[in-house]
Chains A and B, each alone.
Chain A
Amino acid sequence: MALDQLYQQTILEHNRKPRNYGHLTGATHAARGHDAMCGDDILMELIVEDGCIRQAAFSGDACAVTKATASMLTDWLPGRQASDIADWSNQFQALLKDHTLPDAPELADLNQLRPVSQFPARVRNALLPWTTTLRALNQPEGTNP
């Protein structure tokens, strides 16, 4: 059933043991993502060098969907061009909205979050780490969130 797809093993694993959970020494960009309605409150931290994301981490308190997304996203971000993230974010959002689209291989594990599309009330949770990352990147380097 749909519920098992949403709370599948991979997502549960990322929720239990999130990757890149904590703070980065020397973060160049950071932003806080707060969804008051759900109670999600995360901090995304990035190290960007010459326009390329070198490292990403997150911390905070959030639901399984947000945590799993943040965990997968911070795994996926290193090596990406900061200027491309808005397009990737749009592509991810499209995948969550239209389940007939094929997976985007470049998004790797993040495709596993697509069952969220069957839970309209939870789509916002999968988008929060993305929008927070974009806000961090759009802030001047060294801004304290």
Chain B
Amino acid sequence: MSIPKTMRLVDGEKGNLIQITSLNLDGVMRRRLLDLGFVAGAMVEVIRKSPLGDPIAYRVSQTTIALRKEESSRIEGVLMTDGE
């Protein structure tokens, strides 16, 4: 086990389990993401990536939600497991 690694959601690989630490967004988009379950402390699993890598589907609070990199690059978390 090493020191927890901070990463952006956009950099997660399929199968990664990431615990959210911060949302670097403001206004309506921040509110919207919070409402959808992207809150600090929440566990997010990277489900799959589109062929071109954007958008990426995540599983959060029992639902699959796809985010574009404009949003997923602004959400930070700690990698919990890499799904191996």
A and B are partners in one complex rather than unrelated chains: no
Q: Which residues of B contact A (CB under 8 A)?
A: none
